[in-house]
Structures are given as C-alpha cells and as structure tokens.
Amino acid sequence: MNRKSIKARLYKELSRIGRALGSPARLELLEILAQGERSVEMLARQTRLSVANTSHHLQALREARLVEARRQGVFVHYRLTSPEVFGVVQMIRRLGEEHIAEVDRIVRSYFGQRDALEPISREELLERAKAGTVVVLDVRPAEEYRAGHIAGAISVPVDRLEDRLADLPADREIIAYCRGPYCVMSYAAVEKLRARGRRARRLVDGFPEWRAQGLPTSPRGGAA
C-alpha cells in the first residue's frame, strides 16, 4: 500500500466522527451524556425523541466510538467513551459562536437578552457555595438530579419552582443551573425568582461543564 492510499484510508476512518456529529439530535445527546451515564429511555425523554429514533442516533455515535453501552437487565445504558468527546462538542459550540453569524445572532438575541445580570462563573460559585453565602438550585427534572448534580445543590425542577419558593432561604442569593449554556430552564428559573423579589443569578454554563472540570458532584462522578 503506497503512502497516498494510506493517507486516504486514514482520512476515511477519521471522517466517521464527522458524519456521526452531523446531526442536531446527536450533538444534544452528547451534551446530555456529558452529565453522566443515561438509559436509552431517559435520553428519549430528555430529547423528546422516540425510543427507536434515540436508539438509532446512539448506534451511529457508537459506531464512531464516541459512546459506549452496557446492558442492565432489559435496559441499555450509554456513556461517553472519554472526556475528550465532550471537549469536541464544546469546541463545536465555540467555533459556531465565533464563525457562524446565525449562531452568534441566536445566542445574543435569545439568550443574551434574557439575562440582565452577568452569570456567575464556576470558580465563584464553588467559593461562595463553600462559604454558604448562596443557595445552589438544580432546576433540571428530578431524575437528572438523582443521576448526578453539583454537590450541595437543592433539586427544584423549574416547573415546580413557584410551589417550592417558600422552602428557599430568603436571605441568600440563589444560583440556578441546568444542562449547559443553551439550556433555557435556568433562565426561566432566574426570571421567576426575580419576579418574586428574590436575588437570583444563573451559572454561566451547566452541570456537564462543572463535571468535566472535576468539580465536586454528588453522587461522585454523576453516574446514573
């Protein structure tokens, strides 16, 4: 085999990763799996896809060695093959925001206008949480919280926030977080809290980024 054919074969194999990533649903699945291992059924609920369609996308990701699976009884659970997979997703996000005008426009117009206050960084949240000066609020669905969350966070799904408002300390600022920078649940939670006169901000990104940095989680590592 000559040098040219070896190079062509190599690029052909590498292109499998690009093809696997060429789907909005698969990018979303990888972002969710960055939070920790999930069953096919749980992934289907989170993405609002059918179980069959979710399985199809996961199989494409598995063939590209981006995810791996294990069977537990009748259920199949998926996880990322390595932390570098989520790093690729983050890089795609950054490249899109920096070089694709429509991505930048959507982020600025939809997300930027919904947050009048600067979001809090992971480092500042960690410091303030240790000092006990903030309440860390996980506004994702309860099953996601149980699968893994920021250590010390309280679970109040965004659709139950108004019913649980009286349970939250009134003398501390509330920091809400969800699945990542494009997750609207934390924005909605902050809007509701501020409308009720509470001091509230959101984490700059979400649980996947927190977990990827090796910051404290519970259960440790955030596995399902």
Supply the DSSP string of 34-76, one letter for each residue: TT--EEHHHHHHHHT--HHHHHHHHHHHHHTTSEEEEEETTEE
Quick one: CA dihedral 153, 156, 162, 166, positive or negative? negative
Query: How much is the pTM?
Result: 0.86
List the catalytic residue out of 33, 125, 158, 178: 178
Same-domain status, 141 and 201: yes
The CATH number for 148's domain is 3.40.250.10
Same-domain status, 123 and 77: no
The reported pLDDT for the residue numbered 222 is 44
- Asked, for residue 95, whether it belongs to a domain, the answer is no
Kindly state the tokens that stand for 174: 């509330």
Low-confidence ranges of the chain (pLDDT < 50): 221-224
Active site residue 178: yes
- Asked, for residue 94, whether it belongs to a domain, the answer is no
The reported pLDDT for the residue numbered 223 is 40
Same-domain status, 49 and 142: no
The reported pLDDT for the residue numbered 221 is 45
- Asked, for residue 103, whether it belongs to a domain, the answer is no
Quick one: CA dihedral 152, 157, 161, 167, positive or negative? negative
Q: Scanning the structure block, which residue is given the tokens 């809090």?
A: 120
Model confidence over 162-189: pLDDT tens digits? 999 999 999 999 999 999 989 999 999 9
Same-domain status, 36 and 122: no
Q: Report the percent of the chain where pLDDT is more than 70.
A: 95
- Number of structural domains found in the chain: 2
The reported pLDDT for the residue numbered 216 is 95
In whole angstroms, give the CA distance from residue 85 to residue 17. Answer: 10
The reported pLDDT for the residue numbered 161 is 95
Give the structural domain span for 166. 116-222
The reported pLDDT for the residue numbered 3 is 77
Same-domain status, 121 and 66: no
Query: What are the φ and ψ backbone dihedral angles of 223, each rounded to 5 degrees?
Result: -75, 150
